Structure 1
């Protein structure tokens, strides 16, 4: 298991807490400059944290308390496989020689090194590329060679820094399959930095959201999208319907609207507290006629991409905008068009209430189950 609990002030302020189990793929997501790559660099020993702990397979790689460093293994002694966004292959070496580079320390015999390197080329299905120079390889082929090189030293943790962002979609999907296949054999922690939420949801067992150097929430993709810890997390994971209101003893208001929803009171929010709240697409229904619990709305935006339509409704008598996606067939059935009237129903049981917390509120760094989690 990889365990990380670090803080630093420069060159990039970080307060990161996460764990990654053997065989688990753990994605780090967040906006550009949020500290995702810096986190990987700290793990690999390319940057040094001020305080905290980095532990892999029960061995301390780094340990410091109150600016006193107790353990700080050099990068060469940390068993990390690091795959960079830009491949970083040596241009004067062929594919086989590139993969053999990290084997020098433990395999002094050059013939043995090349034999081991060839095995990794075979595993990744690119054995025929062994004698090609990097400039003779496509982007996807270069990335496979770089991945083989990262794995050749049999690392105890694999660090992937946006490895798929520079390649086309079909090649990317092939590499997804390759990664899914080899991770079963490796049984080591894998950390993936990506800005692509769909990629993270597809590949990762768990996701950590990072913003301004702080880990905001770690959860499974499903839990993260259904129950973000606070409104900032909801924004960062691309939830469209984020509302504000006041919660009091099971009654939840919708700012800008007189409507009140009755939701389950879990006793974690004081009466009269201002909150943010979200609801998934599955919790929103649209009807062509008024019903007991519906809110009248007007279609203010309608756009279609293929067979999927994206619609924005403005709740009548308010400034509340509701986003909804549906198939073209559903849009036709409901006779939805720009300026038409519709009736929105919210499933109160799917509403998730969150505290309003500023970006620098340290309380959100507490463990799951504390006052910040709902």
Structure 2
């Protein structure tokens, strides 16, 4: 188990609190410069936080006392981390095999044993036949496999991946996803993945932590995160398109700029008669050709096709509010839908998720000054 609870106020804010179990892949997502890579580097010992604790497999790598004095700080070499960088960082003068053998140089193993372990790792990556090639003779995907094999050579207790697939073409990326999935079950160690690609995080991760300006805002499984963000800033960062504002009062939710009022479950976490942000997943939307007592008239403003899926932008009649609806091409055809068509939209109040409306979205407010 990897446990991280670290904090600092300068030179840049950092407040990260997360756990990652063996065999679990935990993704860190957020905008550029949000502190994702800094979090990985801090875990690896390349940065020192002001206070906190980093523990892996029952061993404390870093810890401060209540006064902020450091009581434990292992060097990067003493921390059992496999670190895979975005730009591979292969030694250009060494072969693929030579690169993988580098972490084993100071071990008690002889040259034959180091070579055997390294060849086995290259074989697990599916590139044992490229062992003698130099990095400039390898494709980007092949270089990344060599770098991954090297990161695993020391049998690390945790694997840290810093946007490892961002510079690779889509087919190669899909192949590396499969390799990583196979490794997860074999290695049974915590894996932290930094990515800016939300689809990648959704596909690969068991848990996702959203980071903004160095602060971890929410940690949740992908499905929970995308359907129930903690606040409007999280919803914005994970790209939820259907986010709106209104007033919530004892189970009744109004919609700014619209006469519709929804009945929403009151969990007692939001004060009465307060402004909120709210989101609704695609499963909570339905569109019909004919009106009903629960429907809102909406005009089709834009239609975009993505293969067999169409993304429809609907504007609520007599309102400035627009909402996105995703449907199959067959459903669009059945409704005879086209731009300027009048449709009738229903929203399932049971699937509406209400959040605090953060007027100031700067997460640095969470750090004590």
**Length-normalised TM-score, structure 2:** 0.96
How far has the Cα of 1:102 moved from its partner? Answer: 0.3
DSSP-derived class of the 2:336 partner: coil
Equivalent residue in structure 1 for 2:361, among 354, 359, 362: 359
How far has the Cα of 1:249 moved from its partner? Answer: 0.9
2:40 corresponding residue in structure 1: 40
1:302 corresponding residue in structure 2: 303
2:78 corresponding residue in structure 1: 77
DSSP-derived class of the 2:248 partner: strand
2:89 corresponding residue in structure 1: 88
Contact 2:215 2:364 in 1 (8 A): no
Q: Does 1:115 align with 2:120?
A: no
How far has the Cα of 1:111 moved from its partner? Answer: 2.4
Q: Does 1:126 align with 2:113?
A: no
- Counterpart Cα distance in 1 of 2:10 and 2:126: 42
Contact 2:246 2:254 in 1 (8 A): yes
- Counterpart Cα distance in 2 of 1:50 and 1:183: 32
2:25 corresponding residue in structure 1: 25
Structure 2 unaligned spans of 5+? none
1:208 corresponding residue in structure 2: 209
Give the stretch that moved more between structures: 129-138 or 101-110.
101-110
Contact 2:28 2:194 in 1 (8 A): yes
CA RMSD of aligned residues (A): 1.4
DSSP-derived class of the 1:88 partner: coil
- Counterpart Cα distance in 1 of 2:167 and 2:267: 45
2:14 corresponding residue in structure 1: 14
Contact 2:215 2:363 in 1 (8 A): no
DSSP-derived class of the 1:173 partner: helix
How far has the Cα of 1:108 moved from its partner? Answer: 5.0
1:220 corresponding residue in structure 2: 221
Contact 2:299 2:342 in 1 (8 A): yes
How far has the Cα of 1:363 moved from its partner? Answer: 8.7
- Counterpart Cα distance in 2 of 1:160 and 1:153: 15
Q: CA-to-partner distance for each residue in 1:69-104, whole Å, 9 max, x for gaps?
A: 111110000000000111100000001110000011
DSSP-derived class of the 1:332 partner: helix
2:147 corresponding residue in structure 1: 146
Contact 2:245 2:255 in 1 (8 A): yes
DSSP-derived class of the 1:258 partner: strand
Summarize the Cα distance change of 1:225–1:322 in structure 2 as closer, same or farther, 3 Å threshold: same
How far has the Cα of 1:68 moved from its partner? Answer: 1.3
How far has the Cα of 1:4 moved from its partner? Answer: 0.5
Give the stretch that moved more between structures: 103-112 or 227-236.
103-112
Contact 2:247 2:275 in 1 (8 A): yes
Q: CA-to-partner distance for each residue in 1:268-289, whole Å, 9 max, x for gaps?
A: 2111011111000010000111
- Counterpart Cα distance in 2 of 1:152 and 1:29: 27
- Counterpart Cα distance in 2 of 1:225 and 1:8: 28
1:180 corresponding residue in structure 2: 181
Contact 1:27 1:194 in 2 (8 A): yes
- Counterpart Cα distance in 1 of 2:307 and 2:346: 26
- Counterpart Cα distance in 1 of 2:362 and 2:127: 47
Contact 2:29 2:198 in 1 (8 A): yes
Contact 1:15 1:213 in 2 (8 A): yes
Contact 2:213 2:364 in 1 (8 A): no
Contact 1:12 1:38 in 2 (8 A): no
- Counterpart Cα distance in 1 of 2:34 and 2:362: 13
- Counterpart Cα distance in 1 of 2:254 and 2:342: 23
1:369 corresponding residue in structure 2: none
After TM superposition, the structure 1 = structure 2 runs for residues 275-314 of structure 1, keeping only pairs within 5 Å, are 275-314=276-315
How far has the Cα of 1:107 moved from its partner? Answer: 3.1
Contact 1:45 1:75 in 2 (8 A): yes
1:328 corresponding residue in structure 2: 329
Contact 1:208 1:215 in 2 (8 A): yes
Q: CA-to-partner distance for each residue in 1:173-208, whole Å, 9 max, x for gaps?
A: 111111110110111100000011111111110000
Contact 1:107 1:113 in 2 (8 A): no
Query: How many aligned positions are there?
Result: 365
Contact 1:6 1:51 in 2 (8 A): yes
2:62 corresponding residue in structure 1: 62
- Counterpart Cα distance in 2 of 1:255 and 1:162: 39
- Counterpart Cα distance in 1 of 2:54 and 2:108: 27
DSSP-derived class of the 2:259 partner: coil
- Counterpart Cα distance in 2 of 1:156 and 1:327: 45
